[in-house]
Amino acid sequence: MHDYLLPQLGRVNLPQPHPPPGRHPRRGQRGARVSAVIRAGGGRPLTLPGRSATELASAAEGGFGVTVRRVSIPPEDPRAPARGPHRHDGCEEVILILAGTGEFVTAAGTTPVGPGDVVVVSPGEPHRTRNTGSADLVSLCFFGVPDLPRVTTELPPEASEAPAGEADK
């Protein structure tokens, strides 16, 4: 890789082979050849309930046919309202835990997660990832859809997920 091709922040499109004559797929369409390097610090910041995220690739962020987000969940504050689960209708989610410790929570149960763990979430399955440590829980989340907000539904917290001490009242 030539360093002069990469700016300090943002995305760099890599040189592409020419499509066959008469075929000119557009970015984000099936069959399009899209290559990019999204540098550290690149992407579009998002504010989501109980977590922050940076959208690195999506239809809105670069015209891609998939969505990739870096998500950071701060340590839980027992005085803050509990964050509810969410679901993605029609697409799987793959979560790679990069740093921190936490739990992956579904109706089927709770599983501890840490750096290097990979979680595969079935389409439509209500889920959430909780931070159980003292530092941010950081993950990289991959979705096979270009427009994630269109298939995502935030759900209310369940009574069992109320802030510490609140479920007893």
Chain length of the chain:
169
Examine residue 3 and state whether it is found in any structural domain, yes or no: no
pLDDT given for residue 21 in this prediction:
44
User: How far, in Å, CA of 6 to CA of 34, rounded?
Assistant: 16
Examine residue 161 and state whether it is found in any structural domain, yes or no: no
Examine residue 168 and state whether it is found in any structural domain, yes or no: no
Per the structure, how many domains does the chain have? Answer: 1
Examine residue 36 and state whether it is found in any structural domain, yes or no: no
pLDDT given for residue 23 in this prediction:
41
pLDDT given for residue 169 in this prediction:
38
Which residue is listed with tokens 């990832």?
A: 129
pLDDT given for residue 146 in this prediction:
96
pLDDT given for residue 13 in this prediction:
52
State the distance between the two ends of the chain, measured CA to CA, in whole angstroms: 59
Q: Which two tokens stand for residue 118?
A: 């990979």
Examine residue 4 and state whether it is found in any structural domain, yes or no: no
What is the full per-residue pLDDT of the chain (169 aa) written as tens digits? 334 333 444 555 555 444 444 444 445 455 555 588 898 899 999 988 889 999 999 999 988 999 999 999 999 998 888 889 999 999 999 999 999 999 999 999 999 999 999 999 999 999 999 999 999 999 999 999 999 999 999 999 873 343 433 333 3
**pTM exceeds cut of 0.85:** no
Examine residue 113 and state whether it is found in any structural domain, yes or no: yes
Where on the phi/psi map is residue 8: left (φ > 0), alpha (ψ -120 to 50), or beta?
Answer: alpha
Examine residue 94 and state whether it is found in any structural domain, yes or no: yes
Examine residue 18 and state whether it is found in any structural domain, yes or no: no
Furthest-apart CA pair in the chain: how many Å? Answer: 69
CATH code (residue 107): 2.60.120.10
> Where in the sequence is the domain holding 101, given as residue range(s)?
45-156
